[in-house]
């Protein structure tokens, strides 16, 4: 009966407009797929209201249309309805099927446009689609994008029509069989390797803009000079730009500049600095004007903050925030969900992990081999979390992890020219998309030796593309005398295996205290549930965490400037999370964990 209803829903949705489809979607027999554990947000999710929040907080326009909701889908072996933006393998997609290698996943749906919508330009924005996506509007190709972690856009004005339009998205995802970035996705999940994520996994949306519009902003604060550089990319360099910076609703600075030179250094008198304790954000309004009339406008925000490095009184090189030594203490955050995989069930859930990390006294998050949607970074900006951003790993074949405790002269692994070209393409898109988020303070091009190649070149390239953040070339090695940070990994207890002058020394991974809790496991009763150490009582887990934190505190005077604990939540068969995978249980005593973390965060004050 359920299959019949799904088929009926697919037929109905195909002939209905986007609006009516959304209104009637609740009538269809959508259910989460499978019988795995779920979060409370997933359990309470309704089709009629899936990710209705504006997806791009740093360039906000008033008018936009979400295309999230039920779409038709088809693979080589199956068809029906799928809930966007959840990957086909996830429970919340309603499908729960693994896409085969070289198998094509096809999405279709309809949407309506009015004549007013087409007076200017109509943009289609695609949040991340894993991995190779081609988009058609009314059977005409409008976009092709390779890479599963960044958004892309298409101007569909010339192919869109007044009335009903059809969108088709065709996706191929070969997961771990090629050289593209895949993070921890594998076709045979096991241990630290998890379920594949294929297809649309972030918001798809439409945005009407004028013929000449603001395409992008670049915001570069300089607290030493009390200035903010604002650069705008425009569709056509005509007219003038009005830029207004506000603090608590009051205008701090404003300027009007010609559109053919859309960059300006604005004075920010007595800047209110952004810190984890005081994450102050300035509002920014940017208007494109012509003949005194506002053509386009976007709302944004920024922060006055600086990340750098300097030697302390003992000659130890320390990371600095706003020219003051800071110890960065945080969890390894993989951003996986039992019901949505790469996609949090709701925006509230997306916020949950960050807020609870803050509650536990951390000041940092290492976003591990994954990139989140813009709203995740917005919440880090707003709450005051420092972020280390990893490049999702790829091309792991032939990995040789031989330089964790020593410096190498050459990389053991050599990636092909095509593989490296793809690496730079994806890493460059990630850095470009996230460039304005004040929360991001460290770029991590490689994790351990996973696909690590041309390390010296990559570190220099990363620093040249963003000289305003620190570069942690390879978290956990292989190590080269490049970048700003030397990053060791040691499990389970923290340990300084070596100290290297001339670098900011950090412990990029440690901990992994396991605690499987029945009823909250990905694979109940499985012998595969593991941690680097494993206990069965909250008190023992808490005491072990606090003991490790004290050991870490003793290593700070010896040279460590940051520590990353594994990890925020359980992930599939890994049970070493602070929280269970479903986020329903914190496994440790919150007050004791917070006290231990805050002691580390304050250790260099």
Instruction: Check whether residue 558 and residue 472 sit in a common domain.
Output: yes
The pLDDT value recorded for residue 590 is 98
Q: Give the whole-number percent of the chain exceeding pLDDT 70.
A: 95
- Residue 215, in any domain of the structure: no
Instruction: Check whether residue 354 and residue 490 sit in a common domain.
Output: yes
Instruction: Check whether residue 390 and residue 297 sit in a common domain.
Output: no
Is a pLDDT exceeding 80 seen at residue 235? Answer: yes
Point out the domain boundary residue: 302, 317, 333: 302
Is a pLDDT exceeding 90 seen at residue 499? Answer: yes
Q: Which domain holds residue 252?
A: 224-302
pLDDT category at 285 given cuts 50, 70, 90 is very high
pLDDT category at 383 given cuts 50, 70, 90 is very high
C-alpha distance from residue 447 to each of 116, 203, 228, 479 (Å): 49, 28, 33, 11
Instruction: Check whether residue 200 and residue 342 sit in a common domain.
Output: no
User: What does the alpha-carbon distance between residue 366 and residue 200 come to, in Å, rounded to a whole number?
Assistant: 24
The pLDDT value recorded for residue 16 is 35
Give the mean pLDDT of 28-36. Answer: 89
Host H or E run for residue 239? none
The pLDDT value recorded for residue 398 is 63
- Residue 216, in any domain of the structure: no
Give the mean pLDDT of 383-411. Answer: 88
User: What does the alpha-carbon distance between residue 338 and residue 149 come to, in Å, rounded to a whole number?
Assistant: 19
Instruction: Check whether residue 383 and residue 518 sit in a common domain.
Output: yes
The pLDDT value recorded for residue 26 is 41
- Residue 83, in any domain of the structure: yes
The pLDDT value recorded for residue 2 is 34
C-alpha distance from residue 373 to each of 37, 239, 304, 430 (Å): 24, 32, 23, 11
> Which distant-in-sequence residues (6+ apart) come within 8 Å of 233 by Cβ?
214, 215, 216, 217, 218, 262
Instruction: Check whether residue 474 and residue 406 sit in a common domain.
Output: yes
The pLDDT value recorded for residue 14 is 35
Tokens representing 73 are 């889908």
Instruction: Check whether residue 410 and residue 376 sit in a common domain.
Output: yes
CATH no. for residue 266? Answer: 2.60.40.10
- Residue 181, in any domain of the structure: yes
How do residues 523-556 score in pLDDT, each as one tens digit?
987 777 999 999 999 999 999 999 999 999 999 9
Is a pLDDT exceeding 80 seen at residue 13? Answer: no
Give the mean pLDDT of 506-511. Answer: 98
- Residue 192 three-state SS: coil
CATH no. for residue 455? Answer: 3.20.20.80
Instruction: Check whether residue 521 and residue 592 sit in a common domain.
Output: yes
**Closest to 342 in 3D by CA, of 201, 523, 147:** 201
Give the mean pLDDT of 398-416. Answer: 85
Is a pLDDT exceeding 50 seen at residue 489? Answer: yes
- Helix, strand, coil percentages in the chain from 3-state DSSP, rounded to 5: 20, 35, 50
Q: What is the count of structural domains for the chain?
A: 3
Give the mean pLDDT of 134-161. Answer: 98
Supply the mean pLDDT for the chain. 93
- Residue 217, in any domain of the structure: no
The pLDDT value recorded for residue 5 is 35
Give the mean pLDDT of 324-344. Answer: 98
Instruction: Check whether residue 283 and residue 372 sit in a common domain.
Output: no
Instruction: Check whether residue 402 and residue 291 sit in a common domain.
Output: no
How do residues 429-478 score in pLDDT, each as one tens digit?
999 999 999 999 999 999 999 999 999 999 999 999 999 999 999 999 89
> Which distant-in-sequence residues (6+ apart) come within 8 Å of 495 by Cβ?
488, 507, 510, 555
CATH no. for residue 100? Answer: 2.60.120.260
The pLDDT value recorded for residue 404 is 75
User: What does the alpha-carbon distance between residue 40 and residue 583 come to, in Å, rounded to a whole number?
Assistant: 8
Point out the domain boundary residue: 183, 209, 235: 209
Give the mean pLDDT of 246-275. Answer: 95
How do residues 45-85 score in pLDDT, each as one tens digit?
999 889 999 999 999 999 999 999 999 999 999 999 999 99
pLDDT category at 396 given cuts 50, 70, 90 is confident
User: What does the alpha-carbon distance between residue 487 and residue 299 come to, in Å, rounded to a whole number?
Assistant: 38
How do residues 173-208 score in pLDDT, each as one tens digit?
988 888 999 999 999 999 999 999 999 999 999 999
- Residue 462, in any domain of the structure: yes
| Lowest mean pLDDT segment, chosen from 223-232, 254-263, 574-583 | 254-263
Instruction: Check whether residue 584 and residue 456 sit in a common domain.
Output: yes
- Contact present, 331 and 324 (Cβ < 8 Å): no
- Residue 214, in any domain of the structure: no
Point out the domain boundary residue: 283, 302, 321: 302
Instruction: Check whether residue 369 and residue 503 sit in a common domain.
Output: yes
- Residue 160, in any domain of the structure: yes
User: What does the alpha-carbon distance between residue 311 and residue 177 come to, in Å, rounded to a whole number?
Assistant: 44
The pLDDT value recorded for residue 12 is 40
């Amino acid at each position: 009966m359920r299959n019949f209803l799904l088929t009926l829903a697919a037929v109905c949705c195909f002939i209905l407009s986007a609006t009516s489809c959304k209104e009637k979607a609740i009538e269809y027999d959508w259910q989460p797929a499978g019988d795995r554990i779920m979060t409370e947000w997933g359990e309470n999710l309704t089709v009629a209201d899936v990710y209705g929040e504006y997806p791009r907080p740093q360039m906000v326009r008033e008018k936009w249309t979400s295309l999230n909701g039920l779409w038709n889908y088809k693979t080589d072996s199956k068809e029906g309805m799928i809930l966007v933006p959840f990957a086909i393998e996830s429970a919340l997609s309603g499908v729960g099927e693994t896409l085969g290698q070289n198998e094509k996943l096809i999405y279709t749906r309809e949407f309506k446009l009015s004549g007013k919508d087409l007076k200017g330009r109509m943009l289609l924005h695609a949040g991340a689609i894993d991995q190779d996506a081609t988009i058609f509007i009314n059977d005409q190709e409008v976009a092709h994008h390779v890479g599963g972690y960044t958004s892309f856009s298409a101007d569909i004005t010339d192919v869109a029509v007044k009335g009903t339009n059809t969108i088709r998205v065709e996706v191929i995802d070969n997961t771990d069989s090629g050289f593209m970035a895949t993070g921890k996705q594998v076709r045979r999940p096991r241990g630290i390797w998890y379920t594949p994520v294929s297809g649309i996994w972030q918001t798809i949306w439409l945005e009407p803009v004028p013929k000449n519009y603001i395409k992008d902003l670049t915001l570069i604060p300089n607290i030493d000079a009390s200035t903010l550089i604002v650069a705008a990319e425009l569709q056509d360099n005509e007219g003038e730009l009005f830029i207004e910076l506000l603090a608590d609703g009051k205008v701090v600075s404003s300027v009007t500049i010609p559109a053919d030179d859309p960059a300006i250094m604005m004075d920010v008198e007595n800047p209110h600095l952004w810190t984890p304790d005081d994450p102050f954000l300035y509002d920014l309004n940017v208007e494109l004007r012509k003949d005194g009339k506002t053509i386009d406008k976007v709302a944004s925000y920024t922060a006055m903050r600086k990340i750098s490095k300097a030697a302390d009184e003992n000659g130890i090189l320390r990371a600095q925030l706003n020219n003051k030594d800071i110890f960065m203490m945080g969890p390894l955050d993989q951003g996986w969900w039992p019901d949505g995989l790469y996609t949090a069930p709701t925006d509230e859930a997306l916020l949950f992990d960050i807020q609870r990390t803050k509650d536990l006294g951390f000041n940092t998050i290492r976003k591990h081999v994954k990139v989140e949607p813009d709203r995740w970074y917005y919440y880090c900006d707003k709450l005051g979390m420092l972020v280390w951003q990893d490049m999702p790993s790829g091309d792991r074949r032939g990995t040789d992890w031989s330089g964790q405790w020593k410096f190498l002269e050459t990389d053991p692994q050599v990636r092909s020219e095509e593989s490296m070209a793809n690496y730079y393409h994806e890493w460059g898109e990630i850095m470009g998309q996230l460039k304005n988020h004040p929360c991001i303070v460290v770029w991590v091009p490689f994790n351990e030796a996973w696909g690590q190649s041309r390390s010296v070149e990559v570190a220099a390239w990363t620093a040249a593309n963003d000289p305003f953040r620190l570069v942690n070339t390879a978290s956990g090695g292989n190590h080269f005398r490049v970048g700003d940070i030397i990053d060791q990994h040691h499990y389970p207890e923290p340990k300084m295996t070596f100290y290297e002058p001339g670098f900011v020394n950090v412990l990029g991974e440690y901990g992994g205290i396991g605690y499987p809790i029945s009823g909250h496991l990905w694979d109940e009763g499985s012998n595969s549930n593991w941690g680097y150490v494993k206990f069965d009582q909250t008190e023992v887990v808490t005491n072990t965490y606090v003991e490790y934190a004290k050991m870490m505190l003793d290593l700070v005077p010896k040279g460590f400037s940051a520590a990353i604990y594994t990890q925020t939540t359980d992930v599939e068969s890994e049970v070493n999370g602070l929280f269970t995978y479903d986020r329903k249980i914190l496994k440790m005593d919150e007050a004791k964990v917070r006290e231990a973390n805050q002691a580390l965060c304050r250790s260099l004050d």
